A = this chain, B = another copy of it.
Amino acid sequence: MPYTILDSNSILEYVQHYPDAKKFLDVTRPLESAELSDGNLNAVFRVYEQDNPGKSILLKQGLPYLRVAGESWPLGPERAGFEARALAHEYKFAPTLVPQPYWFDETMNINAMEDLRHYQVMRKPMMAGVRYENLGVMIGEFLASTLFGSSDFGMEAKEKKQLAKHFANGELCEITEDLILTEPFEHKLLAHKQNRNHFNLLIVRDLEKLQSDDDVKRNVAYLKYRFMTGAQALLHGDLHTGSIMASAPDENGQVDIRVIDPEFAFFGPMGFDVGLFMNAAAQHGHAEDYESRSSYRSYLYKQARDAWTTFEQGFREKLKNPNSISWTHQDFQDDFMLSLLRDTAGYAGCEMIRRTVGFAHVADLESIGDKRVRAQAEKMALKVGSTLIKKHSRVSSYDDLEKIVKGVIAV
């Protein structure tokens, strides 16, 4: 069958005939499907046995355009291949932290995987104040395992170069390069490019100030260049709370998590993944009344800190057995971990700003109905973000980073 876009009917026929499907479902029994698509990019289906709905699989099909934008924004469906290869890597190094991959059908651009029925994408519960007490720790473990496992410390150089060949993810990297690392910081682009920013008109003056700050521009250009040339490890590439699913918290707020949707995967600077998660945590500090917000913010600060601390400890632990004597020197390891923290601070700042004034906002901020109330939160995001960007290369420790953030918020 050549590539065709499937719907909730044709996906059943597809599953019934796909050779590997019988390993995961009894395809001789009646099957049903439900369309779950809610991300920006793909069609997503659950297929399950009619009289045993607990037996199910999840299928994601890459579409030849951006799902939310429609055919006016074409995008190669082959990005499903990037997701498949990235998920295979993540599953190898962090098998309990991602869905189990079942198969990848290159012709149909379909990834079939474990259906996380009892898991929920984190964004909305977190907007409602749900706490996942071990979120930061789990993400720290995910980052340490997947990033070390694809770095030059954990992988033979020749093997890494072969793997990297399969992650020339130009289209999705371009989205990041443009929407996160260019447009939010520029009032005007070069002639043939269009600026897709949109923002609350009540923060126009703050945005103008940001976009005329040479120190911001210098640092963002550096961070963008590093994103494009710093091939440190295979990144997830889109690690916000919309890409993390959690089981229902137990009485202590402990959960299992699964990181999903690695279709932005490519070899890039590790701090980008860490920074995106840091900002995702930060963003959930807005959408509540003041009393509970203050306490929820403490919870979020803790998750961000846990993520960094767990990541750093895990990475340093693995660095005790690197694949070359070159990486064994203590000074080098210390310098390296500090460079990751600095990148983390910088990319967190960029992400914070683009979620406020760029093309793709997130519900955490957008859900604040009162434009004036929202403007307060947005102004704060611009301020924290630009401070992180400007100071990122001089951050000396995680405490220092947190102090910078709290210092801006306290003003």
Binding site for B on A (CB under 8 A): 152, 157-159, 161-162, 164-165, 168-171, 173-174, 177, 181-182, 186, 188-190, 193, 214-215, 217-218, 220-222, 224-225, 228-232, 323-327, 329, 331-332, 335-336
Within 8 Å CB of A189, what residues of B? 325
Beyond contacts A152-B225, A218-B329: 5 other A-B pairs, Cβ-Cβ < 8 A, are: A190-B324, A217-B331, A221-B326, A221-B332, A224-B326
Complex: how many Å from CA A220 to CA B327? 10
Taking the nearest CB of chain B, how far is it from the CB of A381, in angstroms? 21
Q: How far is the CA of A220 from the CA of B331 in the complex (A)?
A: 11
- Complex-state Cα separation, A284 to B201, whole angstroms: 65
A217 to B334, CA, bound (A): 13
Instruction: Please name all residues of chain B whose beta carbon is closer than 8 Å to the beta carbon of A326 when the two chains form the complex.
Output: 181-182, 186, 217, 220-221, 224-225
A-B contact pairs, 18 of them (CB 8 A): A152-B229, A157-B170, A158-B173, A158-B174, A161-B168, A162-B170, A182-B325, A193-B325, A214-B329, A214-B331, A217-B332, A218-B331, A222-B335, A224-B326, A225-B327, A225-B336, A229-B231, A231-B231
Which residue of B170, B182, B222, B230 is within 8 Å of A158 (Cβ)? B170
A369 to B217, CA, bound (A): 56
**Does A152 contact B228, Cβ atoms closer than 8 Å?**
yes
The oligomer's copy count stands at 2
In the bound complex, CA of A217 to CA of B174 (Å): 37
The 5 lowest CB-CB distance pairs between A and B, nearest first, are A158-B170, A221-B332, A218-B331, A161-B168, A161-B170
- Majority secondary structure, A binding face: helix
Q: Are B168 and A335 in contact (CB under 8 A)?
A: no
Report Cα–Cα, A153/B174, bound state, in Å. 14
Candidates B157, B182, B193; contact of A228 at CB < 8 Å: B157
Smallest CB separation, A322 vs chain B (Å): 9
B-side contacts of A182, CB under 8 Å: 324-326
Contact A327 to B157, CB < 8 A, known contacts A168-B162, A170-B162, A231-B229: no
Between A168, A169, A225, A326, the greatest number of chain B beta carbons within 10 A of the residue's beta carbon is seen for: A326
Which of B181, B218, B332 is in CB contact (< 8 Å) with A222?
B332
Bound-complex Cα distance A232 to B226 (A): 9
- Whether A190 pairs with B325 at a CB distance below 8 angstroms is yes
Give the residues in chain B near A228, CB-CB below 8 Å. Answer: 152, 157
On whether the beta carbons of B161 and A177 are closer than 8 Å, the reply is no
Q: How far is the CA of A335 from the CA of B224 in the complex (A)?
A: 14
Minimum distance in angstroms from A291 CB to a CB of chain B: 42
Closest to A163 in B: B168
Query: Known contacts A217-B331, A231-B229, A332-B222: does B177 contact A157 (CB below 8 Å)?
Result: yes
| Cβ B327 vs Cβ A221 within 8 A | yes
Given the complex of chains A and B, what is the CA–CA distance between A190 and B324 in angstroms? 7
Nearest residue (CB) in B for A181 is B326
Complex contacts, A336 vs chain B, CB 8 Å: 225
